[in-house]
Structure 1
């Protein structure tokens, strides 16, 4: 891989894609390609084929997806299933037809069964049923993983899938209807702090265990996969450490400076009881995360404060 290789980053404006873009630029990659959703609709096969013919990328990094939390997945199951399959199928198949030798597909830890043994190993994929609250997104991502595996097996191309744990960081989505738990908490605690430290209502019991990875560490894992030929098709990306949602809330509350009460609504779903990634395969190859959770939350909250005027609600 040379520093002037043409690398297309799908979803380069999103939290993950923009982190990958910044990191590649910082280490000297000079030929990066990105298109906004208005410039290129990845759900359209014709548009994707035309783009590949014009740009001729040598490497594709697929960080594009329709994403959201429990509420969004539950309310829009068809869009989460179909749009994600359209995006990844168009990218993967067109890359194959165009002769792209290296493809990095990004997914999610939700591809693994709800009650799989902890920590989650790559080989537990498809061994049991999924968590119902996000199965639509998970099924789409599983089909992407298996597509890349099939291409690797049949055509011997370097197509690899990286499955991150829960990601957070700068450029995150802070819309309370569609965001994931960590950025949603940051916004809730911040707004409650401004409202005379009003009580903060949170979903569930606070007992589920979750693992969180700062987005710059995810970007570093992608760069690692870019610059090395990984021997297998699927790798977990995470910290190998988790904590309860209650402990997460208390950490965010402290960082934000909110001193009011936290009220747990146990009538709302908790989701998967625990989701901790086994990241031993990536550790053995030489990649390891660098940013601890409290530091990452501080970085994320500072970015939130700096960009609070520009943070807009996402319309579903």
Structure 2
């Protein structure tokens, strides 16, 4: 059933968004959906952390993706930004433009949102619904104790560069879904391996919030890997005015990705594929063992892939021992 947007906006909000599954109460949220604005009351000595991402159909997700998949991806990538800052999710707002309102589409979309909202105790507290091409704008709000946020600018010479999970899976998944890669026409599937097991890595990013909170005060700097490992690491290096050496042989990848790509393309996927939504942390040698223990307690793989150096830029030590300067050829938004 299709409704005219002007006549049904508030009914849709009441029926699908202002529900206990999404608009639930928690400490720090004084008022959610229902007034002109939400009311947030951060605890004493806590900083409020904001992040906003806009996801456009056909750009940040396939146009034919299922509504619940789109919703989980949209909220998940935002929560990953909070994880990078070591912030505990508090709540979020939603701006949604859709060509027409279909109740079954909205129901599936909000079901997907509520799955992650409940998992991370992060209620929907407001937003806007309008007519237009399909786009989702989510702003997440989080809390971090005063002075405890992990910034990009804190890396130190001699820090180990640590990466959670595996890299390159989402890049392989996009090829398997039939989409072109920003890595160019030479980046293609190799062999007969089935990339379908990696589709979930693209559609359902896993925000590393638990791990990040456990690493508060242990990491000197951090960033989430969204546009590509080297591209995002370069943001840290620019803010910290330092450089890095990366070991090609240490890059973490899944067995499926390895089976789907040639060796050179696998390295490209790890370095520049993007959409990984893993965390990259810069950690001192004194704190490294403790960070690995946090990862173990979270049942999360963690790899040491390089070291922070004084000379600016990113250098890759190849498997045969050569040192090669690498650029961040990650995803470009424009």
Is TM more than 0.5 here?
Answer: no
Determine which structure has the larger strand proportion and give its number.
Answer: 2
Please identify the structure whose Cα radius of gyration is greater: 2
Structure with greater helix percent: 1
TM-score where L is the length of structure 1: 0.29
Normalised to the residue count of structure 2, the TM-score between the two structures is 0.28
